[in-house]
Amino acid sequence: MAAFPEISRIPFEGPGSDNPLAFRWYDENEVVEGRTMKEHLRFSVVYWHTMRGTGSDPFGWGTAVRPWDDGSESLENAIRRVRVAFEFMEKLGAPYYAFHDRDVAPEGATLAESNRNLDKIAEVLAEEQQRTGIKLLWGTANLFSNPRFMHGAATSCNADVFAYAAGQVKHALETTQRLGGENYVFWGGREGYQCLYNTDMKREIDHLGRFLQMAVEHADRIGFRGTFLIEPKPKEPTKHQYDSDAAACINFLRAYGLTERFKLNIETNHATLAGHSMMHELDYAGFQGMLGSIDANTGDLLLGWDTDQFPTDLYLTAQTMLVILKHGGLGSGGVNFDAKVRRESFEPIDLFHAHIGGMDAFARGLKIAAAIRRDGKLAGFVKDRYASWDSGIGAKIEHGSESFESLSKYALELGEVRTNRSGRQEMLENLINTYL
Ligand code: XUL
Ligand code: CO
């Protein structure tokens, strides 16, 4: 029984189309900068919001109508959901998906039972991947919903919880490998603190470092070759999350010797919660060779929390793609829609509208970014702005041959600096508008 019998494969109809169930910009075969849109964007659907989101919020129950889901935690229901997920992704034309262990399979009474449940569902996932050609972008473990993780998982004050989490991640990693997952993600759901009076921060962060080292050791043992990704987020659910932003994560990874195997999964709404723009986080990770993947969504400026909305703002997608292209693309990562429909958008068809909009916004963002790069005016301006570093004293400083002694002599001869030029911010903002 099809869940979406009235929908066939979402077609590309071009910008002139007024069909809300067609792509106007995302033509998976269109070539941009030498690669198809499909290859650049590597769109991925998330299982947790799309298949498990109910629309509940702290003030009310779920609103989502999902006729295929009986609301139970049975394996039959979980299997039905897998079939629907793949029908949805196939009709949408999304090449990838991502899941947490506990979204796809019910939690059992013991870790052993949970592992068995995941194994059964993984069989069905493998079968559907085989049938459709849809691939696993990444897997992860939910180390934050169950009450046992109230104090965190790898950073819990309770060593038994750390051990349990290790056992859970071992199985999630093996399942990801079994399904050909190209990455494995760590989002530290409760890895942080609410109160420093009761927290030994150094010990907790050391434990997190050791936990991730063990993940790498286990990956080596089983031959998992995918990229490990950390997903920065500054707060929510805890008041301070240890993986607070790209800079904090990279510092942490360096301190624990993990930079060879880890990159970052940058999420838009997390960047803005950290007080940064998506561009900032992407560029910061990118120039250190640590940009792995993105969780594509957006927040709402008037709401201060992680609203996980679908991205439709063309400035945002153009800026995002500009930085991604600058750093040579996402490699084994992708554009993963960690986004959920609003609780007022409760019908199944809204899942299509949301994803089509996000995919079109990214396709258009990609084209805008490519046009900005082709034109070269923006890059040319930036290059010129730093021209004083390309020769003369600037080049010597960059090569490391100058000292305070020599620069003091240079500055004394200079007398005063008379070479500053305008940053032309407004002119550049106007320039960007010409590509939209
Ligand atoms: C939470 C979040 C997670 C991760 C995966 O804010 O973004 O869904 O992407 O655990
Ligand atoms: Co995310």
Segment 262-278, tens digit of pLDDT: 999 999 999 999 999 99
Nearest to 282 by CA among 301, 263, 300, 254: 263
CA distance 308 to 259: 28
Query: CA–CA separation, 401 vs 394, rounded Å?
Result: 10
pLDDT band at 1 (very low <50, low <70, confident <90, very high): confident
User: How far is CA 192 from each of CA 52, 74, 163, 240, rounded to the nearest angstrom?
Assistant: 25, 33, 18, 5
Looking at residue 164, what is its pLDDT? 99
Instruction: Say whether both 112 and 185 belong to one domain.
Output: yes
Indicate if the pLDDT at residue 23 is higher than 90. yes
What's the number of domains the chain is made of? 2
**50 and 121, same domain (yes or no):** yes
**Do 203 and 148 have their domain in common?**
yes
- CA-closest residue to ligand 1 atom 7: 338
Do 371 and 391 fall into the same domain?
A: no
> How high does pLDDT run on average in the chain?
98
Q: Are 428 and 382 in contact (CB under 8 A)?
A: no
**Ligand 1 pocket test target in 231, 266, 336 with most atoms within 8 Å of CB:** 231
262 & 398 share domain: no
DSSP lists the bridge partners of residue 309 as: 298
Contacts of 400 by beta carbon, 8 Å cutoff, 6+ apart: none
Distance CA(238)–CA(334), nearest Å, equals 27
pLDDT of the residue at 304: 86
pLDDT tens digits along 246-257 = 999 999 999 999
Beta strand spans in 260-332 (E): 262-267, 291-295
Ligand 2 centroid to Cα of residue 14, in Å, is 30
Residue 417, SS3 per DSSP:
coil
Quick one: pLDDT band at residue 375, thresholds 50, 70, 90?
A: very high
The CATH code of the domain that includes 338 is 3.20.20.150
pLDDT at 345: 98
Tokens of 420: 């500053």
CA angle 253, 194, 242 (to 5 degrees): 10
Confidence of residue 282 (pLDDT cuts 50, 70, 90): very high
Reported as type and span, the H/E element at residue 316 is helix 314-326
Distance of CA 264 from the midpoint of ligand 1 (Å): 13
In a domain, 19, yes or no: no
Shortest-distance ligand to the CA of residue 267: 2
**Closest C-alpha to ligand 1, atom 4:** 187
Residues 355 and 393 in one domain: no
Do 294 and 404 reside in the same domain of the chain? no
Mutate which of 136, 268, 338, 340 for ligand 1? The one with the most ligand atoms within 8 Å of its CB, which is: 338
For ligand 2, the distance from its centroid to the CA atom of residue 62, given in whole angstroms, is 21
Counting residues of the chain whose pLDDT is more than 70, the rounded percentage is 100
pLDDT in tens, 286-324: 999 999 999 999 999 999 899 999 999 999 999 999 999
> What is the three-class DSSP state of 256?
coil
- Whole-number Å distance between alpha carbons of 292 and 262: 8
In this structure, what token pair is assigned to residue 436?
């939209």
Ligand 1 mutation pick, 295, 307, 308, max ligand atoms within 8 A of CB: 295
In a domain, 165, yes or no: yes
In-domain check, residue 252: yes
User: CA-CA distance, 272 to 91, in Å (whole number)?
Assistant: 32
Q: What is the pLDDT of residue 62?
A: 98
Q: Residue 241 forms beta bridges with which residues?
A: 192
- What six digits make up the tokens of 212? 């991730």
Q: What is the pLDDT of residues 75-94, one digit of tens each?
A: 999 999 999 999 999 999 99
* Over residues 234-261, mean pLDDT: 98
Residues recognised as catalytic: 100, 103
Closest ligand, as measured to the CA of 306: 1
Name which residue sits closest to atom 3 of ligand 1, judged by CA. 187
Rounded mean pLDDT, 240-249: 98
In the predicted structure, residue 6 carries a pLDDT above the cut 90: yes
Q: Quick one: 265 exposed, middle or buried, by C-beta within 10 A (0-12, 13-18, 19+)?
A: buried
Whether residue 268 is found in the same domain as residue 409 = no
DSSP secondary structure letters along 108-159: -SSHHHHHHHHHHHHHHHHHHHHHH--EEEEEE---SSSGGGTT-STT-S-H
Atom of ligand 1 nearest to the CA of 140: 10
Residue 127's CB is within 10 A of a number of other CB atoms, namely 13
Q: Are 263 and 238 contained in the same domain? A: yes
pLDDT tens digit sequence for 181-209: 999 999 999 999 999 999 999 999 999 99
**Confidence (pLDDT) at 424:** 98
Are 411 and 359 in a shared domain? Answer: no
Helices 425-435 and 349-375 cross at an angle (nearest 10°) of 120
Q: How far is the CA of 408 from the centre of ligand 2 (A)?
A: 49
The CA 20 to ligand 1 mean position distance, Å, reads 28
In a shared domain, residues 42 and 66: yes
Its domain, for residue 404, covers 387-433
266 C-alpha to ligand 1 centroid (Å): 10
**426 and 304 share a domain?**
no
198 assigned to some structural domain: yes
Distance 187 CA to ligand 1 centre (A): 6
CA distance 160 to 151: 12
Q: How far apart are CA 419 and CA 421, in angstroms?
A: 6
Closest-lying ligand 1 atom to the alpha carbon of residue 306:
6
**Of all protein residues, whose CA lies closest to atom 8 belonging to ligand 1?**
338
Task: Give the pLDDT band (50/70/90) at residue 136.
Answer: very high
Read out DSSP for 200-237?
-HHHHHHHHHHHHHHHHHHHHHHT--SEEEE---SSSS
- Domain endpoint, select from 375, 397, 419: 375
Give the domain-ending residue among 352, 375, 398: 375
- Ligand 1 interacting residues, C-beta cut-off 6 A: 48, 100, 140, 185, 187, 231, 233, 267, 295, 306, 338
- CA of 336, closest atom in ligand 1: 9
Q: Give the pLDDT mean for 11-32.
A: 98
Closest CA to 10 of 364, 19, 41: 19
pLDDT at position 174 over 90: yes
pLDDT at 8: 97
Residue nearest to atom 5 of ligand 1 (CA): 187
Q: What is the pLDDT of residues 349-369, one digit of tens each?
A: 999 999 999 999 999 999 999
